[in-house]
Amino acid sequence: MKIGELARRSGLSAHTIRYYERIGLLPYADRDRSKQRDYDASILIWIEFLGRLRTTGMPIRDMLLYAALRKRGAGTEGERREMLERHRDRVRAHAAELEASLLVLDTKIAGYAGLEQRMKDDDKAPRNHDGKPAGARAARAG
């Protein structure tokens, strides 16, 4: 497949595909008779995996190391597994930090929702001549 089709199917730009090829994240593509890149469809699986690594925050230098180990093939499986395990641990720690932050946000949002409801309820309450809710003094005295 030509670079345009690979770009369309992978979601990467042609520029990014050429960049990944140049730095070693993608293998060099075969060339057709007119010297245009000609990619095998199987590269889509590798590109999807690279996208997952990028989405989870793996630095390019680590992605390059992983790609180099993959290219070396047999005998590097243990090192690749260890790399992915370390990365998974970092991703899990980051996910836990995000969960804690979401809890804080949810608490803050709930507080605002409660405040808005109290303000609506307060607006509906009958008022005395001084603007205070009617019966407020009696409710406090009780």
Read off the tokens for 3.
């670079």
Extended beta strands in 9-138, E state: 30-31, 37-38
Helix (H) / strand (E) element for 70: namely helix 60-72
CATH architecture of 1-72: Orthogonal Bundle (1.10)
Give the distance from CA 29 to its chain's centroid. 29
Average pLDDT estimate for 86-112: 95
Residue 46 to residue 139: CA distance in whole angstroms: 69
Q: What is the pLDDT of residues 37-73, one digit of tens each?
A: 999 999 999 999 999 999 999 999 999 999 999 999 9
pLDDT band at 131 (very low <50, low <70, confident <90, very high): low
**Res 139 pLDDT > 60:** no
**Res 19 pLDDT > 80:** yes
The residue extents of the domains of the chain are 1-72, 77-126
Average pLDDT estimate for 2-29: 95
Residue 79 to residue 66: CA distance in whole angstroms: 9
Burial of 73 (0-12, 13-18, 19+ CB in 10 A): exposed
pLDDT band at 111 (very low <50, low <70, confident <90, very high): confident
Least confident window among 12-16, 33-37, 42-46, 88-92? 33-37
Residue 141 to residue 25: CA distance in whole angstroms: 74
Average pLDDT estimate for 20-41: 93
Residue with tokens 């245009």: 36
Question: Taking the complete model, does pTM exceed 0.75, yes or no?
Answer: no
